[in-house]
Amino acid sequence: MENRITKEEYFAFAKESKERRVAWFREARFGMFIHYGLFSSHGMGEWAQVWEDIKISDYEKLASAFCPKEGCADEWCRLAKEAGAKYAVLTTRHHEGFSLWDSKVNPFNSVNYGPHRDIVREFVDACRKYGLKIGLYSSLMDWRHPDAWKCMTDEGARERFTAYVEALNVELLSNYGKIDILWYDMPWPRMSSKNWDSVNRNYRLRQLQPDILINNRSRMAEDFFTPEDAINAEDGADWEACMTFNGISWGYVDEEQITPYSYSANQIVKMIRKCTGAGGNLLLNIGPKADGSVPAEAIEPLKRVGAWLAENGEAAYGLKKRVGGYCGGNNVTECTAGTDDKTVYAWNYIWPKTGELVFGGYRNAPKRITLLSTGEEIAFRHEGHRLIMTGLAERSPDRHMGIAVLKMEFDEPVSYKYGSYYPQVSEGEDFSEGLGN
């Protein structure tokens, strides 16, 4: 395809529309990742084909037996919506090379084999039905493609495979209406954007979808970073941390076959706080079972998260300031804050028995403190740097998971300085009116 530009030109071109394209993403905060493919039937994780050295001719048998139940994509998206997620990302083709759509360039797909259905179409329709933004995951690896491994040493293979990958993505971005995210993965074994031709491929793909966001896994920074299995903020950049529900595998594994360990609703809400508070999103993965149903252990916590977000979403969604540490103390309470710094949301994890909750370090007082879920006013006084909330119930007022959010509204930007106990850490700071006041 003739249509080539330099990296500099491409970045300038992408930058021009970035603010417009990324606006929804910066407010979304929470998305659902769905790893579904033939590996879901094998049940040993999405990398089993490689780790177990399964012959391609044997692995292929999974394709004929692949039988997603009717309506599974609707089930994923309904749950995502109920959980309070604003977008969903589906593995349209993982490294195993099985396309979940009616591909003309990859005959190894779900229309020619197994269910004879276009699962990507079903997913896209379900996202639209539930008002979710749509993300399509697209691997840059293909374990069954003869050229994929040869790319590093064989120029012909490199060119063929690069063209193949582009053709797959052209299908995904041409045949399903507006797509919001192209989520690349696995650029290995090619080590640079140059030998992937990412500049020009992405340039051409963007012309098919002018509003699309592209992640950083085609060996280029692109629109957002994707820390994996860890919530690490990227300074001054957009990012999304992907985490997987059972903490082990992205594809389905039977919970009883692993040390039972899945994130609880409480842990998920804390992860959302951590992402929102540091300027990122949480993309939480579920690995549906062979028949596409959601594993039971994910359903209850996700519904609980959704019920919590329905009452407390104001603290999580939307544009927020990247907060430093301010609040009531790491384990007791962590914060998110409005961009003007005049609204602070204190997410409380340890509720006091005494009827009094105290936050140190507040140099100015809010005009009002309310319980976000109900709007109920909370009595408080401001003494020195201490905010002392009084008359509280003995137990956390949050019935979902014990994370109550206190909304503090200030007339002026909040002035917070924790650590009157540590005046030496901030040279030049005046702590004379500090502790003990």
21 or 94: whose CB is closer to ligand GLC?
94
Q: What is the rounded distance in angstroms from the CA atom of residue 314 to the CA atom of residue 100?
A: 36
**Exactly one of 76, 250, 351, 410 binds ligand GLC (CB under 6 A); which one?**
250
The gap from C-alpha 184 to its chain's centroid, in whole angstroms, comes to 14
Helix (H, G, I), strand (E, B) or coil at 407: strand
Regarding 389 and contact with ligand GLC (CB under 6 A), the answer is: no
Minimum distance between the CB of residue 229 and ligand GLC, rounded to whole angstroms?
8
- What is the DSSP pairing of strand 213-214 with strand 181-185? parallel
Minimum distance between the CB of residue 37 and ligand GLC, rounded to whole angstroms?
10
11 or 47: whose CB is closer to ligand GLC?
47
1 or 230: whose CB is closer to ligand GLC?
230
Regarding 88 and contact with ligand GLC (CB under 6 A), the answer is: no
Minimum distance between the CB of residue 382 and ligand GLC, rounded to whole angstroms?
45
> Hey, what are 356's tokens?
């009094």
183 or 326: whose CB is closer to ligand GLC?
183
Burial code of 223-243, b = ≥16 C-beta within 10 A, e = fewer? Answer: bbbbbeeebebbeeebbbbbb
95 or 304: whose CB is closer to ligand GLC?
95
Are 342 and 366 in contact, with CB atoms under 8 Å apart?
no
> Hey, what are 68's tokens?
């997603």
Residue showing tokens 């050295």 = 53
Q: What is the rounded distance in angstroms from the CA atom of residue 280 to the CA atom of residue 240?
A: 5
Minimum distance between the CB of residue 35 and ligand GLC, rounded to whole angstroms?
6
Q: What is the rounded distance in angstroms from the CA atom of residue 40 to the CA atom of residue 88?
A: 18
Are 362 and 381 in contact, with CB atoms under 8 Å apart?
no
Minimum distance between the CB of residue 51 and ligand GLC, rounded to whole angstroms?
11
47 or 431: whose CB is closer to ligand GLC?
47
45 or 366: whose CB is closer to ligand GLC?
45
Number of helices (H), then strands (E), belonging to the chain: the values are: 12, 14
Minimum distance between the CB of residue 196 and ligand GLC, rounded to whole angstroms?
15
35 or 304: whose CB is closer to ligand GLC?
35
Regarding 98 and contact with ligand GLC (CB under 6 A), the answer is: no
Residues near ligand GLC (CB under 6 A), total: 8
Regarding 96 and contact with ligand GLC (CB under 6 A), the answer is: no
x/- contact string, 280-319, with ligand GLC (CB under 6 A)?
A: ----------------------------------------
Minimum distance between the CB of residue 239 and ligand GLC, rounded to whole angstroms?
13
Question: Site residues for ligand GLC, window 45-74 (CB under 6 A)?
Answer: 46-47
Question: Site residues for ligand GLC, window 17-46 (CB under 6 A)?
Answer: 35, 46
x/- contact string, 182-221, with ligand GLC (CB under 6 A)?
A: ---xx-----------------------------------
- What lies within 8 Å, CB to CB, of 344 at 6+ separation is 326, 327, 335, 336, 337, 338, 366, 407, 408, 410, 414
46 or 222: whose CB is closer to ligand GLC?
46
Helix (H, G, I), strand (E, B) or coil at 32: strand
Minimum distance between the CB of residue 215 and ligand GLC, rounded to whole angstroms?
10
Minimum distance between the CB of residue 94 and ligand GLC, rounded to whole angstroms?
6
- What is the DSSP pairing of strand 181-185 with strand 133-139? parallel
Minimum distance between the CB of residue 285 and ligand GLC, rounded to whole angstroms?
7
Among 164, 211, 212, 217, residue whose Cα is nearest residue 188:
217
> Hey, what are 2's tokens?
């003739």
Helix (H, G, I), strand (E, B) or coil at 27: helix
**Exactly one of 16, 52, 154, 228 binds ligand GLC (CB under 6 A); which one?**
228
Helix (H, G, I), strand (E, B) or coil at 143: coil
How many other C-beta atoms are found inside a 10 Å radius of the C-beta of residue 63?
18
**Exactly one of 14, 80, 242, 268 binds ligand GLC (CB under 6 A); which one?**
242
Q: What is the rounded distance in angstroms from the CA atom of residue 373 to the CA atom of residue 316?
A: 13
Q: What is the rounded distance in angstroms from the CA atom of residue 341 to the CA atom of residue 425?
A: 24
Positions that interact with ligand GLC (CB under 6 A) = 35, 46-47, 185-186, 228, 242, 250
